[in-house]
Structure 1
């Protein structure tokens, strides 16, 4: 399986419309990949709270349209990161869009754990409640977003629902980059699953981003890691390794507390 993680530089001087167009071109360039992954809230920036209300969009708004067309043109499964979704009620959500190679929106995921400690995202957005897994031709994907990475019970729930490859989109801050790498490896080891974690680069409202998108195998080995700037991280991996690992070292079967 070939996965491409597009680590986007969110430049505050670039308009949202310009970035949508640029990212769509980057997605089209990944024709031949089995899965393409984008970061969290890349249209506006994960820490650009003052822009959330202004840039919020309907589920099938301009980002949906641009990414659907790009997925179709490239013929790829596309985890399009997340957008600030405005529901009909007016509530905002941090929402992931997932497209099939025909460009159809097949699943969404609303971020469950909102960051901010009663400020920022935690105060401005509603919380999702549904764990989301998606069958892919090569594996079963489980979705998480940024701060979710700190909550192992979410990932165990995804694995219990059949997930073999855990996809994390993020706008993780550079000052906690060590946690980003450590937690990605921990989620892989404890769940005996692949972790594909795509972070953004650049700066969101003055908050430098960690970059260093990472792909980790079920033993916790780092298969590939990006640098700090914008780049496309492409890696080949064998999804059948998940079943082999779980069979040879059946730790998941020994759980007592559920």
Structure 2
């Protein structure tokens, strides 16, 4: 399975420009190969908090637009605001040619930048299958919460996608934690970041990364705008878990619960 991260620049609050940019590149990279294409967190709007509720009214239309561009071999991981009355959810939609086939609401919100003031948190995890690959959906800040990744992997995920807006000044945290989540859960972790977040003050980001179940980089992370591509092989997940059975050993030793 090809896994592509669209590491492109975003403009805070400019839905039209972001939509034109990302969906144009999306259309260019689609072919007949089985593919999962990941877009950065809140790629269409950025964290334009005061306008997210208004923007969320266009989410269904955007998901439909994405779906109409796809063939049956392509899945898009798209994070968009989901309307929820006075607040919104930060929601990941898994979009295929038949429409939205799965979604996930961000559990852990980034309180240092007041995400929790404008956005409601979700509860639970999401794992689904696409063309023989079990996919889990998580987001950005959540790489700092290994319990959430363990629950997602325990639910069967062989590949966990992580859309993000993560500043380059913390790239060592980003790369270290993505790699750690791959090693400890013995599965693929694919983190897709924007290249630059243009806003009141531009924030360089970059360094989208994908790690295999052994913790090896599938491609070299870099700061530049581009489409970064790797291959996920479910058989390798089973191979590594058999070679060093730490993941399976933990299943019989611990009970992991999430309390509301």
- Aligned residue pairs: how many? 250
Deviation at 1:112, TM superposition (A): 0.6
Deviation at 1:76, TM superposition (A): 1.1
Partner of 2:89: 93
RMSD: 1.9
Deviation at 1:75, TM superposition (A): 4.8
Give the secondary structure class of the aligned counterpart of 1:35. Answer: strand
Partners of 2:205 and 2:169 in 1: how far apart?
7
**TM-score, structure 2 as length reference:** 0.89
Give the secondary structure class of the aligned counterpart of 1:18. Answer: helix
Partner of 1:29: 28
Partner of 2:169: 175
Q: Does 1:40 align with 2:34?
A: no
Question: Contact 1:133/1:163 (CA < 8 Å) preserved in 2?
Answer: yes
Q: Does 1:126 align with 2:120?
A: yes
Partner of 2:258: none
**TM-score, structure 1 as length reference:** 0.90
Partners of 1:236 and 1:141 in 2: how far apart?
14
Deviation sequence 1:117-143 (CA, Å, 0-9, x none): 4x5211111001020001111310011
1:190 to 180, 184, 192: 184
Q: Which shows bigger deviation, 149-158 or 217-226?
A: 217-226
Alignment gaps of 5+ in structure 2? 256-260
Q: Does 1:107 align with 2:95?
A: no
Partners of 1:209 and 1:42 in 2: how far apart?
15
Partners of 1:128 and 1:211 in 2: how far apart?
26
Partner of 1:216: 211
Question: Contact 1:31/1:75 (CA < 8 Å) preserved in 2?
Answer: no
Task: Rate the CA distance shift 1:131–1:6 in 2: closer, same or farther, 3 A.
Answer: same
Question: Contact 1:58/1:86 (CA < 8 Å) preserved in 2?
Answer: no
Alignment gaps of 5+ in structure 1? none
Partner of 2:246: 251
Deviation at 1:59, TM superposition (A): 4.5
1:116 to 111, 118, 131: 111
Question: Contact 2:143/2:178 (CA < 8 Å) preserved in 1?
Answer: yes
Partner of 2:224: 229
Question: Contact 1:37/1:169 (CA < 8 Å) preserved in 2?
Answer: yes
Partners of 1:51 and 1:229 in 2: how far apart?
29
Question: Contact 2:53/2:86 (CA < 8 Å) preserved in 1?
Answer: no
Question: Contact 2:89/2:121 (CA < 8 Å) preserved in 1?
Answer: yes
Partners of 2:90 and 2:159 in 1: how far apart?
21
Partners of 2:25 and 2:220 in 1: how far apart?
19
Question: Contact 1:49/1:120 (CA < 8 Å) preserved in 2?
Answer: no
Question: Contact 1:9/1:229 (CA < 8 Å) preserved in 2?
Answer: no
Give the secondary structure class of the aligned counterpart of 1:212. Answer: coil
